[in-house]
Structures are given as structure tokens and as C-alpha cells.
Structure 1
Amino acid sequence: MTNLNRRRLFGLSTAAALGALVSACGTGSADSGRPQGILRFGSVAGAGSAAALDPHGSLFNESDWLRHTCVYDMLATTDEQGNIVPALARAWTPDEDATRWTLDLRDDAVFSDGKPVTADDVLFSLGRMSELAAENGNRLGLVDVEASEIVDEHTLTIVTSAPDAELPLTLAFGTFVVPEATTDFAQPVGSGPFTLAEMDDQGANLDRSETWWGEKPAVARVEIRAFSSPQALASAVSSAEVDVAASVMPAAAESAEEGTAVHVRPASECVPLLLRVDTAPFDSPQVRQAVKLALDRQALVDQVYLGYGVVGNDMIKYDEPSVPEDVPAVERDLEKARSLLEEAGYPDGFDVVLHTTTAYPAMLPTATVAAEQLAEVGIRVDVEQHAPEQYWSQAYTVEPFTVGYYADTSFATTVRQTVLSSAAFSETGWKDEEFDADFAAAMSETDEEARLEILHQLHYRMAEEGGWVVWGFGDGVDLHAGHVSGLPAHGNRYDLSRVTLEQ
């Protein structure tokens, strides 16, 4: 089996991603002072106070993702090593040019109301995702729902609008399956490892499903608690309010009290600076290069992530097979940066606004530290902070200088979301017909080695020509009580069906 197949092409399960976390929450003893069989999981509600009920709409909130992953199944998921593995879809087979995929569904999956999961439910769910593409970041990618068709009760053919040799990656990212004709999600009916008992804006309680097709979750109940600030979340573990505090700021790990364990998921997120190449001053290649050379990338990793991370060299992914191995380091060179600015017509530098938010903890510190560093070459940055619920529609892809965020999406998915859309909606406004053609060729190439060779070159082109300044990758940092085990070893997808609690 090839490397990409091992890592990517055998499925991402919603329950599997959540279960890796929940396996750490088994049963507690009567005298332990903690609830028996209950996993209390805390995360920051970073995108506004209201919980998102629709699993196919806008989900920019870790608490929402976690809840939906507990309640709903996806077509594919990831195992503990990050490989894509089957979930509701037991297997998938492409045709020669990867435009028609046959999906064989499980015949033992049932919804929480007792009804079986069928191909009709899957196609209906994909249709809703397609209809809400503008809200969900086009999570469905190239899937052409209208052209797709049901073969029988547990088989369907998924058609893509263009060749897509990495469709399984799409199937493993937010393809939440709901019963056909569902329009009200206040009382969700899913086929996942847990069922919703009750919820409000502060969190949700979920009970273990006794009808889930997968391995029985280790905990009887999950309590997902949303916190308004990273500081409050971090302190909740030491005060025994929660068992797990997910994705805390690195400072919380540095100051963790005795008895609190620190769990690290290496290089699990990226918070790049985004320069729109179609807007001054970043329409100048010299200016873009000056920004890249003006940054002290190791200092950014040290200050933003307190060393919990690695330096980036403008490749938008870190450890995917698509990333070339011989990526040259981008060394800081203030003298050359000043020279490039003068060459571009800015001998005295320029003033610019850098837009950011607190939707994810590293976004505001990134803007603050980058502004200080850029000032050394005459780029005078005014940092403007937006409310999380407004940032993604009012600043991101709109303003010429913003802070972005990447986590679990693959390179192919990220390219589709941030490059191949119209320039007006592209993150950096960068468009190139040759790039688009080469990407399409890669997606039609079913031979993995040949496909990776093309993707390697596309990484280089984005780094050299585009407006992505990927200065580093931050580790995911979780705090947890000593009785918790089974947290994910990578990425940001928590599979609570796998987490266990020791006695």
C-alpha cells in the first residue's frame, strides 16, 4: 500500500475522531470525587455564543464540531494514526479518471430513532451540504449532487464535476449524514456514537448510543462545556470542573498545576498571514517577498506558541505526503527586505491594517508579534481586531491583509477552498490558469507517485508566487486530568468514542 493510501485513503470517521478523545474517560470510582462514567470535555466557544444546530451550515466553533461529530456519522473518518478509514461508507471505488465513485454503505447503521441509514439519507445530506456551500466553506468540494445517483439501498454513485483522485479526503471532513427530509435540527437524529440529551449555549450533554454500529464508547455520557475565554478553560481542569481542556493556549501548559497532564498534537494548526495579491501594496511581488523576509519565524513560534510548534517556510501544509521534503528555509534578512521595498516604490515603508480575531487563540498574538517585526523594515502595522462571528464574512478574503487559520483540511481541499474559487473569494486573490490546469491533472491522476510529483510543484508555486506567509505551525495543546487517556495523537479531531477514564 502506498504512503498516501496508508495516510489518507482509508477513511476519517466522525466518531473515530471524537472517540480518540473519549476513550480516556472510562468509569470513576465511588470515592474519587468525580462523576462515574462521565467525560467532561471543555473547549472555547470561539465563534459567538449561539450554538450551531445545522451540521451542514457554518461551523467555526470547536464545541459545535465536537457535538456534531458525537451525534452524526460521516462517510469516512480517520484512525489513530491519521489514516482515512471507512465509516458509514465501507468502501469506495473510482473509475479510471476519478470522476465517478461507487460507495458501498454499511448495512448495520441505524439512526437514533431506529430507522436504518440508507443511500437516500446520504444523497439528501450531500444535497444539503451543496446547497449551503457558501456557509460551510464548500466542504463538499467537487461533488456534483445532481449527477450523483442511488444504485440500491446501500450503494450510490458519487459524481464529481472534475476528476478528484482524493475524494475520500472530502468524505472524511464534515459529511454529516442526517435522515432524508430533515429540516429541524433542534432535536437531532443521527447514527453516531452518542445521542443528544440536552443542550444550551454553555454546552451539551450526550449519552452513549446503544445502537451505534461501531465499538461501544468507553464512557456512558459526554458533557461538552463551552468556555468564553481560553483562560477560564485552562483553569477548569485544575479546579476539576472538566476532565479535558482542548486546544488551550501554550501558556496554560507552561503554568499547568501538579496533577494536570499536558497532551501535545504536533504541528496541528497553521495561522498564516494572508496578502491579497490583487490589492496594493501586496500586488507587488517585491512587497510580498519583503514581508516574508522581514519575519523572524523562530521568534514567532517562540512568542505565539511558546515553542510548542515548528517554523514554516510558506508551504501551507506541514506533514502531508503532498509536501516536498526538500523545502528551503526562509531566513530573515532585514537588509534585503528594505531593499525590496525601495525597489517596489516604498523607500520609507508604508502603513497598513492587519485584520485578525480571537476565533482561535493564536490569531491575535500572531498579528501582534508580526506587527512588531514588520516595523523593523518600515512596514507600520495597525492591528484591527474583529469579533469572531463577524470576522469570517467581513474581513477574511475581503481586506488586503488578514490572519488565516488552517487545521485538518488536506492540501487538495485547502486549494479548492482558497485558490480555485473566483479571485474575489480566494484568500489571497491569486489566480493562475497554469496552476489550475496542473492541479486538475493531479486530481485526475490515480497513480499516487505521479500525483504527488505534480502536487509537490504546486506547493512550490503557491509559496513563491502567492500571498501565503506561512511562518510556522503550532502544536495542539490539551490539558487533562490524570485519569483520562486516549486523546488524539495528531490533528484537531477528537473522537470521544475512543477516550477512556481510568478508575
Structure 2
Amino acid sequence: MSREVSRRTALALTGAFALAACGKSAGAPAGGGTLRYGTVAAGGATAVTDPHGTLFNESDWVRMAALYDVLCVPGEHGTVLPRLATAWSSSPDATRWRFELRTDAAFTDGRPVRARDVLYSLRRIASKAAANGARLGTVDIGRSTADGNVLELVTSQPDAELPRTLAGVTFVVPEGTETFDDPVGSGPFKFARADAQGVALVRNDGWWGPRPALDGLEIRGFADPQALSVAVVSAVIDVAANVNPATAKTAERTGRLAVTSRPDALTYPLLMRLDKAPFDRPEVRQAVKLAVDRQALLDSVLLGYGSVGNDAPGPADPSYPRGLAAPARDVAKARALAGGLSLVLHTTTAYPGMVSTATAVADQLREAGCAVEVRQHPPETYWTQVYTVEPFCVGYTTDLPFPVWVRQTALSTAGYNETGWRDPATDRDFATAMATTDPDRRSGLLGGIQRRMAAEGGWVVWGSGAALTVAAPSVRNLPSGTGFARIFLDGVWLQR
């Protein structure tokens, strides 16, 4: 097996800890304060306790990342950084991966973290693939093994992107764990209590990593974006993640709260199912793409916090075809292709921008001669009864690595096939890309897939927005990385 990845990850680990040390010397306290962190609960406010099943809510992801260690985490520009795994390497055909685990990690009950615990956790994730979007990708858990501090993962097909697939999602629990009301993890925080308001965690002083500056975390999920905004403005919470653009604009104008953003972090695509009328007709899909005024949506929905999209679905990924032009609006041609259609556009309040997207798009489609009804659903049922079910709805995509997103939502075998996309050429080209170990060649192949999806698929990615976080001025060092890097809060501190 090649040691190239191992050398890179070892250097990255050294660099990451050096940066952490620099941060502490630059003024971060040795410890102090509890961070009150809030975000929208997309599926309702009820917290999920099982780290290996369905995790639609951002608040659940943040809590799991605090309680449980993971193999690795996302870095900058598509890179992957170590966490429990200190190094990894693959066979030349990218079907066998060796992960070397650190030997100083321990669970909060005192037991050491072993490769067997990691394999057990991955086995639970694999058993719940239907609920978690096949989070492990191509891992063949039955052929994978653990020995001492070495984890050997075998994939069902070549997968040169496996570390990116696993980054941030492999929450490790002790072997044999089946209940999680009193969670035992090896992360930077440990469970204190839970109530109707949320979950409280305290610092895990036995964590192997740099000592978190925070004494604790209080994590709350809010049922709607407006309640989240009110909570941070009224100082009920210190941080509101994924706020709507209006809240960010107000915070900037008043200057009382700090606003941070992660560019190209989210999209609210229109999802047209190719297997249901009328979107089984290419001319109807083309009409929608031509009727949409992308700049107007950027201005009205995102209030300028973003950029116009070209219907390629991975704007934050290194493979994104940035030279691909967005379709120009042509109302007359859209009317000629699909004028007279009656459509129902489904949406929900689960994330900021979903309702305003539907409302604005409906007006634009009416200009092209379509009769459009906007039908709003509660967040508690939207993702199970509407998303991937109705012919036309508003989706939500965060900045996952494009290969992960494709495997979960766009291949013929996808766990959540968003648009009924069944394209043998995409399946074939994706398999070729995953067998390509040269990163630049692989990125080029993935970019070609994005171009095909933009031209022929059922996604209208009209723009990509910044993920906006509003926080009290005392909050320092909130995560700024892409994808699941956003959920790890162990480096945050409060200025006292």
C-alpha cells in the first residue's frame, strides 16, 4: 500500500495541533464559559440519540460531533485531516484501505478506544444504511477487519474518495452499545443532561486532543428559522447557525452581533422528478430552467449572500465546472415549451430560504404561462413524505463532497434519489472516477458528470448561498471549513 496519504496526514495532524496551540497563545482562555448554540431543527425539535441512524437536524450533528470521535474530518479544498485515525493508505486499485488509529483515545467510562470499537460502529452504520443515506458509501463491512489499532476497510468497488466519504460521519461508540440515552463516547465533550430546551454537555478532560477552552455546550434545535433568529437577537443563545439572510443583514446593520459566512455552503435547488409527469418530458424541464430568473432569486432569497448557479449540483467541490455558463432567462421560449401547464411546487420551513424560493419561483413561472400552486408542508413530515416523492419540490443541499452527494442522491443505487435520475452513463463515469487515484484526473471526470447533470437532469441549482452564522461578540474561532467541518466546536472559545 502507498504511504503517500500517511505522510500527508501526519503532516496535517502536526500542523492542525500547531495552529490550535497558536490560537491558545493568542488569547484563548485555558477554560471558561458555556457556549449556547442554536440551529434550525429540520425535522422538528425532537433530538435524536442514535448517532448511526437518521440525522436530518443540524443540532443532532453538532451534538454527535461533540460526544463521539470520528476517523477523520474534512479539511480545506477537499482535503481530509486525521482525528482518531492518524494515517491511512490504500491498495493501488483503491479497494483496500488501512487506517492506523491513535492509541491514547479513551471512552468516558475509561475503556480504551480500539479498532474493534470502530468496526462495530461502522457495522451499525451499515445496518442502518436505508435511514442514513448509505453514509459509508462502498464499504463492504462484512469483509472489513480490525486488529489492535489497525482498521482494514474493504470496498465493494474501487473508491479513491473513501476518506472524504467517511470524514466527519463515523461516530465511534464502544463495542456492543445499543442504547444512547446515557451516551458513552470519546469526543471532546460528554453528556450532562437533556430537557425540553435541549442538551447540555460538559468538557471531557480525558479527551486525547487539545483541551477545549469551553467548560460546556448547550445545544438547541429550533422548530423554525424565525424562532432561531429571535433567540440570538434576544441573547437567549450565543450562536445561531444557518440563520436567514434577513437576520444577518440586521446584525450587520446594528453591529451588535458578529456575522460569519461559509461561501457556497448551501443551495435550495428545484427538484423535478424525471420519472413523473410532467417532468418526464425534457422540454418541460428546459422550460423551468429558462423561466427562472437566477439573479432575482439571488437578490430576493439570499439577499446577495451568494452567487448565481449553473445547475451543476456541487458548487463547493473542487470538481465544480466554474466555466459552465448558467442558462439565460428566456420567458418567451419557456412559454412556448410549457405554457399552460398547471404545477404544484412543494416546500417547507425546515431551512431559511425554502419558502421564499418557492414563492419567487412560482411568480417567475407564472410569467411564463404556468399556473403554479405553492404548497407548504411541516418540517416534521417533509423529508419523509414529500422530498423524493412529489414531482416538483424545493430541496436543500449543504456543502457535501460531490462524490458523497452523487452516491447518496443521484446514482441509480442512491439512497435518496432526489429526481428519479437513472442514467447508465453517469453510473459508469462515476465508477471510472472512483477507480482513478490521480486527484486531478478524478476531479476532471467528476466535473464532466456535473456538466451532464446540469444539461439533462432534474436539478435547477439557481444559486449557491453562504451559510450564515450570527453570534455574540464574545464567541471566537467558530469553524469555517466546508461540509461536516462545520459541526466540530471543540476549538471555539469565549472571550471573558
TM-score by length of 2: 0.91
Match of 2:81 among 79, 85, 91: 85
Match of 1:393 among 378, 381, 384: 384
**After the TM superposition, which residues 176-325 of structure 1 pair with which residues of structure 2 at under 5 Å, given as runs?**
176-256=171-251, 257-325=254-322
- Kept in 1, the 8 Å contact 2:291–2:329? The answer is yes
Match of 2:35 among 35, 39, 63: 39
Q: Secondary structure at the match of 1:325?
A: coil
Deviation at 1:108, TM superposition (A): 0.9
Alignment-mate amino acid for residue 379 of structure 1: C
Aligned equivalents of 1:408, 1:209: Cα separation in 2? 29
Q: Secondary structure at the match of 2:403?
A: helix
Q: Could you tell me which residue of structure 1 aligns to residue 149 of structure 2?
A: 154
Q: Could you tell me which residue of structure 2 aligns to residue 142 of structure 1?
A: 138
How many residues align? The count is 481
Match of 1:362 among 353, 358, 367: 353
Aligned equivalents of 1:253, 1:350: Cα separation in 2? 37
Deviation at 1:225, TM superposition (A): 2.4
Match of 2:369 among 331, 355, 378: 378
Q: Return closer, same or farther for 1:421/1:196 CA change in 2, 3 Å cut-off.
A: farther
Deviation at 1:211, TM superposition (A): 1.0
Query: Are 2:105 and 1:109 aligned?
Result: yes
Alignment-mate amino acid for residue 357 of structure 1: T
Aligned equivalents of 1:237, 1:422: Cα separation in 2? 41
- Kept in 1, the 8 Å contact 2:268–2:357? The answer is yes
Aligned equivalents of 2:202, 2:220: Cα separation in 1? 15
RMSD of Structure 2 on Structure 1 (CA): 2.7
Percent of pairs identical after alignment? 53
Q: Return closer, same or farther for 1:434/1:239 CA change in 2, 3 Å cut-off.
A: closer
Q: Could you tell me which residue of structure 2 aligns to residue 345 of structure 1?
A: none
- Could you tell me which runs of 5 or more consecutive residues in structure 2 were left unpaired when the two chains were aligned: none
Q: Could you tell me which residue of structure 2 aligns to residue 420 of structure 1?
A: 411
Q: Could you tell me which residue of structure 1 aligns to residue 457 of structure 2?
A: 466
Aligned equivalents of 1:229, 1:7: Cα separation in 2? 42
- Kept in 2, the 8 Å contact 1:112–1:189? The answer is yes
Deviation at 1:278, TM superposition (A): 1.5
TM-score by length of 1: 0.90
Q: Could you tell me which residue of structure 2 aligns to residue 496 of structure 1?
A: 489
Aligned equivalents of 1:364, 1:376: Cα separation in 2? 19
Q: Name which structure has the greater RCO, CA cutoff 8 Å, separation 6+.
A: 1
- Kept in 1, the 8 Å contact 2:265–2:316? The answer is no
Alignment-mate amino acid for residue 72 of structure 2: A
- Kept in 1, the 8 Å contact 2:412–2:423? The answer is no
Aligned equivalents of 1:423, 1:404: Cα separation in 2? 16
Alignment-mate amino acid for residue 42 of structure 2: G
Moved more, 309-318 or 80-89: 80-89
- Kept in 1, the 8 Å contact 2:78–2:318? The answer is no
- Kept in 1, the 8 Å contact 2:269–2:396? The answer is yes
Q: Could you tell me which residue of structure 1 aligns to residue 92 of structure 2?
A: 96
Aligned equivalents of 2:357, 2:66: Cα separation in 1? 32
- Could you tell me which runs of 5 or more consecutive residues in structure 1 were left unpaired when the two chains were aligned: 30-35, 342-347
Q: Could you tell me which residue of structure 1 aligns to residue 331 of structure 2?
A: 334
- Kept in 1, the 8 Å contact 2:7–2:87? The answer is no
Q: Return closer, same or farther for 1:387/1:25 CA change in 2, 3 Å cut-off.
A: farther
Aligned equivalents of 1:47, 1:117: Cα separation in 2? 32
Q: Secondary structure at the match of 1:255?
A: helix
Aligned equivalents of 2:74, 2:379: Cα separation in 1? 28
